[in-house]
Structure 1
């Protein structure tokens, strides 16, 4: 069976930027535009709204300059307005070649916002499309509030589509602007339009106000739409837009008659970059890209995974450049712990395993968050065995920070019974400490992992004058480790987290 190819238009840089508090810089927009088209392989990107700001104009200029050089210029789209050519002038200055013209897709919007008749609106639209064509700009048309238009003024929508069928328009874009559609309505509305205008190209643009965006996308595809508008991490106004990662996975797994050109293995990388640029955190339980979605917690699941992968499904983490993990907590069983021990290269007999399991359950009851990296320490504590004692110990340190002087640190480290001392300066107390530590390990010809994330917080259940938790993510030759330290002093808690890293490597 020949598959039907669907166009994916990513609108993270335009509609996704309407997320409250989110604004991309010029360089961030350019970096993401390149990544979306070259790495993720989406078909088109909507990068900005015309006339918004000088910064937006500069960003689009840089994107279109790069796109022209790399033959992507017809994949770069800009939201424009029915404004007697002002948007067209802006696009010409920006070097953009495709406009997504915003028009009124419901009689309610037309009557109360524009206060115009359909004929007046259509005449103005025709004028803008003609001007765009004269200037070599391709036109797609948004029917804003189309979903409510189909609900409450269907005759107007079809009158509008009859008009657009006479115009040099490449695509007609059908947005559920307020995120109000059910999946049944989506199918019925899209099918009615596709059946009536088989020669026209229709995109569906879903919002997630009722958490129905992915279901609505599936129904729009079943009804015959030709393209989808999605955003990375589901970013967008209010509850956001239909999320790119979830939609791509759903199409690949449940709609065998349809294909996209999106590269699944790049989804997670792009997701993390967008989150870093925006400060818009990814919920841990967010499908496909969340931190916890490929983490098994229940011991029975880990046991089943060891016995013919009983708890696996088609949504394998390797598809997205990720790896399955097994969480440790009060619902952990021996199988969960065995899985983590295997990754650490540790073995325990049945009696030892039983004791360690019980300790992890006790910590879970106290709402302690146990990680794989904590296992060697739990083992050492529970079994009181020299074989599991720390091989590296930070025995003492002196940190100094005075006005007008560069922060410095002196460090004493015991490594497998031998004592080493070094001192160094740095940009801060912890940076100086790490520089001294690097000198110690340089004498042993060992390169320490790179620090790639450093987060400080009050632990769950604590208050502002209690303990401080430092969580550090390390990259050791492509493999990430997360270690935690707990102390009343922020720098000391970071040093404790660092000591754990030394024993892991």
Structure 2
């Protein structure tokens, strides 16, 4: 298993989630959203937080204004902008002065390092571009700012004309830049190419602090960032979860543990790595994005094990199938149950549930599990149904209620919405409860009737809430005769759990999942009271 590496020096972490990250498709952050994320990054110990481009939109100006009212405690907030325009004096350039008006103490400005871009995009001379870079950096330095120069398209520019690309960096250094950042803007550079170029820049600019800003178009952004650090870069730019334009930016959630926990570089405080998974999910939530389950280190599936052979080895030594303990980054180990499961998966579940580990019973449950998955059940997202099934098989489980009968009545008229009513008869212990309830649909009516029948016996029922309801058709070609799988998520305000039902009748499948969700919630409440 990987061990924490030996100390190798400080690498400063520069987060650009609030600027470059918002250029990703589907990402939009309000000024309040930016404030929330900035505070969390500050608490994590990030060194620099790029807040946005003050000259580009009112939202970013509002963000910087709010930061002046409630400044951060640890991180240095930077504003982003470009060099002055061709033929315009730096002191008179509107974008540069907007950076000053934002009230920040640090700025990152980008300039062209690729001669092709200078002559075609800027439509100016190579010498004028050098002047723009030198004067822009010098002007901001004269105003007392810390200035980072981002060499846009540096690696493409270096491949096309290395002498000119290096001369642009020298112009930034002559202007007084505190660091020069090498940008793989198109994201197409390979690690061996990038490492070689960074080594050349170190030789050409001795004593100059270098940074790396990698994009992920070749899925090399994390690897390129790491080899850049190994080649001598001391500032790393990236975004939480790799958010960003096109294929995204370098993912700090992967870079940080690789640099610190594997290679031994100092980045953010080591005790804060335990909150890295929480940070990842917080940013997804604020940005209203679905988390990527298979994201390394912080994804829900990053330490999830499904194959029986894997779990068998995992029980003996977690390092057999885990490159590091999940707790190091605030994540958790999960063992999944499916048709690929072996007895080891069940034994792991027994360990969690403190159930009997009798092998004959375990193998019987395993066969039952595989047969049910063959019929369309899926337990990876339905651990509530799985636990109830295990308890019924091996632990003398006492069901909190049993269905005696159920009847649904649907009434549809042209002059009003469809009406649904559920009538159910339950056996609760020795008592039979018979009740009815209405709802805006058959499943809602059934849920209301179940709650109405149980809440007189179980006072905790009102606290159990149905949070999500999903239906999937399993055999599309069978049309309306197809089997469906219903997944229900239930919660009690403290935790959530999933349950599953499968049938050719959507109401029956819904009842299976609904009843398991309620039974699991009552089971957990009973265990907590014990």
Aligned pair count reads 500
The answer to whether the aligner puts 1:352 opposite 2:361 as a matched pair is yes
Query: Could you list the per-position Cα deviations for residues 35-77 of structure 1 after superposition, in whole angstroms to 9, with x for gaps in the alignment?
Result: 1111x2211111222332223332333244322xx44573343
Q: What secondary structure is seen at the aligned counterpart in 1 of 2:320?
A: coil
The alpha carbon displacement at 1:93 in A equals 4.3
Out of 104, 108, 118, the position equivalent to 1:110 is: 118
The answer to whether the aligner puts 1:62 opposite 2:66 as a matched pair is yes
**1:105-504 aligned within 5 A:** 105-261=113-269, 263-309=272-318, 311-347=320-356, 349-365=358-374, 368-371=377-380, 372-379=383-390, 387-388=396-397, 390-393=399-402, 414-419=427-432, 430=444, 433=447, 437=451, 440-441=454-455, 444-446=458-460, 451=465, 454=468, 456-462=470-476, 469-476=485-492, 478-485=494-501, 496-504=512-520
The answer to whether the aligner puts 1:26 opposite 2:42 as a matched pair is no
Tell me: CA distance 1:443–1:133, structure 2 relative to 1, closer, same or farther (3 Å). farther
Query: Could you tell me the TM-score, scaled by structure 1's length?
Result: 0.85
Q: Which moved more, 1:22-31 or 1:132-141?
A: 132-141
Q: What secondary structure is seen at the aligned counterpart in 1 of 2:70?
A: helix
The answer to whether the aligner puts 1:6 opposite 2:8 as a matched pair is no
CA contact (8 A) 2:447 2:514 kept: no
Unaligned runs of 5+ in 2: 1-5, 86-91, 525-530
Partner of 2:528: none
CA contact (8 A) 2:53 2:80 kept: yes
CA contact (8 A) 1:7 1:226 kept: yes
Unaligned runs of 5+ in 1: none
The alpha carbon displacement at 1:499 in A equals 2.3
Q: Which moved more, 1:249-258 or 1:154-163?
A: 249-258
Distance in 1 (CA, whole Å) between partners of 2:69 and 2:410 is 50
Out of 20, 29, 48, the position equivalent to 1:44 is: 48
Q: What secondary structure is seen at the aligned counterpart in 2 of 1:114?
A: coil
Distance in 1 (CA, whole Å) between partners of 2:102 and 2:428 is 60
Out of 85, 89, 108, the position equivalent to 1:100 is: 108
Tell me: CA distance 1:102–1:296, structure 2 relative to 1, closer, same or farther (3 Å). same
Distance in 2 (CA, whole Å) between partners of 1:361 and 1:462 is 22
CA contact (8 A) 2:131 2:171 kept: no
CA contact (8 A) 2:79 2:102 kept: no
Distance in 1 (CA, whole Å) between partners of 2:407 and 2:8 is 65
Q: Which moved more, 1:485-494 or 1:197-206?
A: 485-494
Q: Which moved more, 1:443-452 or 1:128-137?
A: 443-452
Q: Which moved more, 1:301-310 or 1:246-255?
A: 301-310
The alpha carbon displacement at 1:227 in A equals 1.0
Distance in 2 (CA, whole Å) between partners of 1:170 and 1:307 is 51
Tell me: CA distance 1:2–1:341, structure 2 relative to 1, closer, same or farther (3 Å). closer
Q: Which moved more, 1:472-481 or 1:340-349?
A: 472-481
Q: What secondary structure is seen at the aligned counterpart in 2 of 1:342?
A: helix
CA contact (8 A) 1:430 1:491 kept: no
Q: Which moved more, 1:230-239 or 1:269-278?
A: 269-278
Tell me: CA distance 1:409–1:2, structure 2 relative to 1, closer, same or farther (3 Å). same
Query: Could you list the per-position Cα deviations for residues 65-116 of structure 1 after superposition, in whole angstroms to 9, with x for gaps in the alignment?
Result: 322xx44573343344534532234334443332211210211111211122
Tell me: CA distance 1:432–1:378, structure 2 relative to 1, closer, same or farther (3 Å). closer
Q: What secondary structure is seen at the aligned counterpart in 2 of 1:4?
A: coil
